[in-house]
Amino acid sequence: MRRTAFICLGLWTGGNFALGVGIVFAMLFFGQNAPGLHILYSSSEIAQIDGRALATINGLAIFANACAAAYCGLALVLVVRSLKYDDRWAFAVLWVSSLALQAAGFASDSYFGHRDLAANLVSTALLICGLLIARVAMKRKEISEPRKA
């Protein structure tokens, strides 16, 4: 059961990490604009955006995606701590922070007309399944091996 939870949460953290790093890499090394711009505007419309506004949007996109990637790396550590060592604090932090980040993903997608709704729903399902399976696995271990005081 812990293995299933680790797979679900590992896919969630790994997928979001890869997405964040990929966006930052494409923007920094290939001169791409923020992905959100391509959802709302054509290439010719993006070319007409004031340079300062474009720099602001791209800078924020790089920062936000780098933060998301960094969070996913830390979340993977919390997954290992909570599943391997039964650290309740790690699981609580993972639960609250991951769901908050996922909610922010839905909120940001609302500005783009929910064009990534399917991806957000799959990501959320993977996260919630992983968290619930992990909690059940941790609870089963508590019942079979009570903690020593």
Q: What is the pLDDT of residue 147?
A: 61
Q: Is residue 95 part of a domain?
A: yes
| Predicted TM-score of the model (pTM) | 0.89
Contact 54, 33 (CB under 8 A): yes
Q: What is the pLDDT of residue 140?
A: 85
Residue 68 located in a structural domain: yes
Give the structural domain span for 122. Answer: 2-20+64-144
Q: What does the pLDDT look like over 129-143, one tens digit per residue? A: 999 999 999 888 766
Helices (H), 31-87: 35-40, 43-47, 51-85
Q: How many folded domains does the chain comprise? A: 1
67-90 per-position pLDDT tens digit = 999 999 999 999 999 999 888 899
Segments of the chain assigned E as strands: none
Percent pLDDT > 70 in the chain is: 95
- CA angle, residues 84, 87, 88, in degrees to nearest 5: 135
The tens digit of pLDDT for each residue in 54-65 reads 999 999 999 999
In a domain, 47, yes or no: no
* Amino acid at site 3: R
Would residue 87 count as lying in a domain?
A: yes
- Give the pLDDT of residue 146: 63
pLDDT at 92 (0 to 100): 93
